Amino acid sequence: MAQAKGIGVLTGGGDCPGLNAVIRAVTKTAINVYDYEVIGFLDGFKGLVENNYINLDLEKVSGIAHIGGTILGTTNRDNPFRYMTGGTPENPEFTDQSDRAIENLKKLGLEGLIIIGGDGSLNIAYKFYEKGVPVVGVPKTIDNDLAATDVTFGFNTAVDTASEALDRLHTTAESHHRVMILEVMGRYAGWIALHAGVSGGADVILIPEIPYDIEKVINKIKERYRQNKKFSIIVVAEGARPKDGEMVVQKVVPQSHDPIRLGGIGNKVAEEIEKRAGIETRVTVLGHLQRGGSPVPYDRILATRYGVAAVDAFARGEFGTMVALKGTDIVTVPLVEAIKELRKVPLDSDLIHAARSVGISFGD
């Protein structure tokens, strides 16, 4: 790789519909527009530390925009700054392997990195930037809870999946006169629950931002009974919690989404409804179905715009930034701004207002 410029790209954290569309856009733009060579590190930061990679050319990224997952592989762990280099899975020993990662970049003659990931991966990206590595980030979270960008790719696909699930549960709820609960992702922010609930005609939406009172939930169900609607649909974000109680999840592993079993809040709500109101209630946990599958067009397009913009930003030397959507425009924002906090649903958002106006209860 004597003279040609080169950049590396990797995907970190949980998989998300649209990752391949970003990888394709990054690779095509880097090659077509800037005459870069492109290296794809495998399995997130692990490939960077272990120097495990593939060359990305136009052929390899052809026809992948509509395919879910990531052709580069990913992992939820393997932080180079706290990398497991000994011990056992139960009792691991961690060391800082970031210099080894940077050494690999140099040996490969790469000018820098495009890092596609959520708050965990972008935190790592920022640390590399602080150590002098030219880095541009691409925001990735199905939950849509990343600060500094209006929308992340994958989110609309997840809403689509959850909304379709609600359509399915609706017919069963109505036929059997039941309460049907759908538990969706959203540990800290209720974006998926809120959007899917409005789209899918939910009667109650429970989100982390609005602690709920189970009596209010039951009142809503009973009010519907009195209107001769003998069924109700409830969407629960996994991080929803009662007003007077704890979040059902105790253990929270930082920067990780999958490993923790969050199940419980949907069941908890169901049990209380059955116990207190005596109405048959069923729970469906959507789980991994929200992450997989082909991205909806909105996400393919957003992912493509992000991928192109990230290489453009890299070429302009805007390191330590992340591409973001603001209104209808793609912009760059400092990485540090992006990772400082999660973007929660504002209580005065017009979508919450709209939801209440069409009769949806938030259990408050």
- Is 193 a binding residue for its own copies by CB under 8 A? The answer is no
Provide the residue type at 51 as one letter: N
Query: Is residue 41 a contact partner of residue 47, using CB atoms and an 8 Å limit?
Result: yes
- Alpha-helical runs (H) found in 200-334: 214-226, 265-277, 297-315
Q: Is 141 annotated as a binding residue?
A: yes
Q: Which of residues 262-291 bind its own copies (CB under 8 A)?
A: 282, 284-285, 287-289, 291
| Part in contact with its own copies (CB under 8 A); list of ranges 97-105, 208-216, 238-246, 350-358 | 350-358
Say how far apart CA 356 and CA 133 lie, in whole Å.
47
Binds its own copies (CB under 8 A): choice among 87, 92, 245, 297:
297
DSSP string over 85-132: EEE-SSSEEEE--HHHHHHHHHHTT--EEEEEE-HHHHHHHHHHHHTT
Q: How far is CA 18 from CA 64, 190, 298, 302, in A?
A: 10, 21, 10, 8
Pick between residue 65 and residue 247 the one whose CB is nearest to its own copies. 65
Q: Is 247 annotated as a binding residue?
A: no
Q: Which of residues 47-86 bind its own copies (CB under 8 A)?
A: 58, 62-63, 65-70, 73-76
For residues 224, 227, 230, 236, the Cα torsion angle rounded to the nearest 10 degrees is -20
Binds its own copies (CB under 8 A): choice among 165, 189, 214, 236:
165
Identify the bridge partners of residue 11 per DSSP, sorted by sequence position: 116
Binds its own copies (CB under 8 A): choice among 6, 109, 264, 292:
292
Provide the pairing of β-strand 112-117 with 6-11: parallel
3-class DSSP assignment, residue 199: helix
Place of tokens 């990230």: 310
Binds its own copies (CB under 8 A): choice among 84, 102, 108, 351:
351
Q: Which of residues 318-347 bind its own copies (CB under 8 A)?
A: 326-330
Pick between residue 28 and residue 241 the one whose CB is nearest to its own copies. 28
User: Minimal distance in Å, beta carbon 219 to its own copies?
Assistant: 16
Region for residue 132 given its phi and psi (left: phi exceeds 0; alpha: psi -120 to 50; beta: otherwise): left
| Part in contact with its own copies (CB under 8 A); list of ranges 91-99, 100-108, 124-132, 153-161 | 153-161
Helical packing angle, 191-199 and 350-357, nearest 10°: 40
Binds its own copies (CB under 8 A): choice among 50, 96, 111, 174:
174
Where in the sequence numbering do the catalytic residues fall?
143
Region for residue 327 given its phi and psi (left: phi exceeds 0; alpha: psi -120 to 50; beta: otherwise): left
3-state secondary structure 321-355: EEEEEECCEEEEEEHHHHCCCECCCCCCCHHHHHH
Pick between residue 245 and residue 346 the one whose CB is nearest to its own copies. 346
User: Minimal distance in Å, beta carbon 41 to its own copies?
Assistant: 14
Burial label for 194, CB within 10 Å (0-12, 13-18, 19+), is: buried
Query: Is residue 127 a contact partner of residue 115, using CB atoms and an 8 Å limit?
Result: no
Q: Is 120 annotated as a binding residue?
A: yes
# chain residues binding its own copies, by CB under 8 A: 87
Q: Is 14 annotated as a binding residue?
A: yes
Q: Is 224 annotated as a binding residue?
A: no
Q: Is 19 annotated as a binding residue?
A: no
Binds its own copies (CB under 8 A): choice among 168, 275, 276, 316:
168
Q: Is 187 annotated as a binding residue?
A: yes
Binds its own copies (CB under 8 A): choice among 243, 275, 316, 353:
353
Q: Which of residues 78-137 bind its own copies (CB under 8 A)?
A: none
Binds its own copies (CB under 8 A): choice among 123, 156, 281, 361:
156
- Is 352 a binding residue for its own copies by CB under 8 A? The answer is no
Q: Which residues are annotated as a binding site for Mg(2+)?
A: 119
